[in-house]
Structure 1
Amino acid sequence: MVAYNSVKGAILIGRYTPPTHYLFKIESFSKLTKAIVDKYSSDKFDAEGFSWKLSIYPTGDKSKNGEGHISIYLELDTSLAIGTDVNVIINLFVFNHLEDRYLSFQDGRVKRYHALKKTWGIAKFLDIETFSNPQNGYLLDDMCVFGAEVFVIKNSFKRELLSMMKKPSTYFKIWKITKFSSLSSEPCFSEDFGYYKYYWYISLFPKGFGKSKGNSISIYLYINDIKSKIPVDTKLFTKFVLRIKDQTNGNHIEIKDNYLYSSDNYVSGGVEFLSLAELEDPKMGFLVDDTVIIEAKVTLLGLVMKE
C-alpha cells in the first residue's frame, strides 16, 4: 500500500514487518487523551549507537499547530557537544489492525540532530477523527501501536574546528648577526623565542638557498616542532612578520602573512628575501658595521583541530 498523506511531501507506506528499532503499545488510549498531559514519552531505546525516545501527543502538539491530530516525535536522548551533529533518516509508524500492516509516513529527508535541535517528527501525523474511527483500524479495543526506525548517515567528510584565542599571544625576536661577511653559505639559526608551549626560531642562508643561491639571502621562520610538541591533528593559526631591518633609512624589507604551523608544516618565509646586491649596498642600510638585524613577530590567533 502506497498513498499520499496530508503531511506535506510525505508518503504513506504500508508493510507487514514491524519497525526495526522500537514499538510503543498504548492500552486505554481514550484515558490517555482525557488525562491532564500534553505528551507521553517512551522509555529510551538504543539504535545506531545513540539513545532515543518516542514522544506521543494524544491530542496534538499545540506549539506546532497540531491540534486535532496525533503528533509523534523522535527525540535524541544522547548529549551532543556544540558543533556536533547526527544526520538521520527517521521512519515513524502506526499499526493498522484491520490491514495487519505498519503504516509509515516518510518524506525521505535527512534530519539533522544537534545540541540545539534534538527533536524531529510530525505535528499532524493523523487527525484524531480518522484515528479514533474503528473502521479505519488504528484504534482497536482502545489500543494502538506506534513505532520508529532510525538510520544514521555516516559522514565521510573531514571536519576541522577553528578555536580562536580570546587573548592572542604575540612573541618577538630581534636577532643581530655580526661579522656577516665572514659567514659561509651554511645556514645560521637564532635562539628560540616563544613562551609556555610554542617556540619559533629564525633561519638565515647568507648566500641564499635553492634557486636564490648566490643571488639573494633566504630567511625562514621555523616552529621548533620538537620543543613545541604540537599534536598530530592540531595546527597553529598564526599571523607573522619577518623583517630585515634598514638600520639607516628605516625602509625595512618584510614579509607579512597568516600561516598554519603544524608538526609537518613547520616553516614559512622567503627564499628570495633580499638580493645580495641590495644587502651589500651601503646606501641601503641593511648591512651596517658588518651587522645584519633580523626581526620576527608571531601572533598566535587560534588552534585548528580535526574532529
Structure 2
Amino acid sequence: MAKFEMREYKREYPPEHFIVEIKPYSLLSNTKAEKYESGVFDAGGYRWRLSLYPNYETTSKKGYISLFLVLIGSVSEKQSPAEVYATFRLFLYKNTPETQEYLTIEDGSGKVNHFHEEMRRELGFAKFLLRSTFEKRSEGYVWDDCCRIGAEVFVHKGQTKTLDEYLPPRELKNPTSSVRKFRLGSISSKRDPKCLSSDKFHLQGRKWKLSVCQNGEPENKSLSFMLESKEDWKNFPSFYAKFRLRVLDRVHAKHTIEKEVQHWFCSSNCKIVFPDFMPWKTLRDSSKGFIKNDVLTVEVEICSLSVVDAPRILKKP
C-alpha cells in the first residue's frame, strides 16, 4: 500500500464524482471483512472504485480504517492496460446533531499520482482514521448503522493549453501597419468641453478608440488625448504597448508635436491619458500649421507590443 503525506480538512460541500453509503456497517465490521469494494464510477475518462479496509492494524496494534482509490480501466477501453496521472481526494461523512460535513483527506505533497491498471492500481491512505474514532457513536462517522464515503478524481491528461507571451515586447517591423491617422474637422469651432471620440479601430491586431478633449479654463485651455483598449477584458490577457501620439504640422511640416508613452493594459487599467498634450493657443496659432482648412490631423503609432500566441498543447515530460 502506497504512503502519502496526509492533508486533512473538513468541508460541507459533497464530493464531485462519487458517494456510496454502506449499510448496515455492522455486517462489515462484525464479520471481520478484509475490505469492502464499492461499485464502479467514471471520472476523467476512466473507471474507478473505492476500497475500504475496516480492520487495518499497524505494528503497534493501533487499529485504523483505510480508504483507497482503485483504477479499473479506461472508459473507452482503447488504452489497455490503462495508465493514468491523477490527483484525488477521499471523503468520509460526519453526521451529528451539530455538524454535517465531510472529513476530506488528500496528498499534502501536491504530487500528481501515477496509476497503472496492472502494476499500481490502488493508491490511498492506510491510516485514514483511527478505528476507535470512526466507530465512536458521538463522532458521527457511523450513524444509524450507516457510513458514507466518497471521492473526487482529477485526471491529468498531459494536454495542457498554454499561452506564450513575449517579454520584452517585439519591436514592430512594418511601420506602415503600425500607424493610424485621424482628421478632426471643425476643430477651431469646438468649444464644447466634451470629448470627441473616434470609432473603434484596429491597429496591430488590437482594438482601440481615440478621444480628443479640451481641458482647463478658457485662459489656460489645453488639448488632451485618451487612447483606450477596446478588447473584451473578461477574456483578454494583459498586454504591454509603447506608442507615439502626434499632432501634425500640415502646412510647414516642422512644428509637429510628438509624445511617447508606454503602458500595461489590463481590465482595471485599459486606457492611457495624455493630459495637457499642448496648449490650445499653440494649437490655434496659424503660423504653426496644426489646423489647415479647419482640420486637425492626429497620428497614433504603436512602436512595440507584447504578443500572445495562439494556445498550444504543452505535453507532459
TM class by smaller structure: 0.3 to 0.5
* TM-score, scaled to structure 1: 0.45
Scaled by the length of structure 2, the TM-score of the pair is 0.43
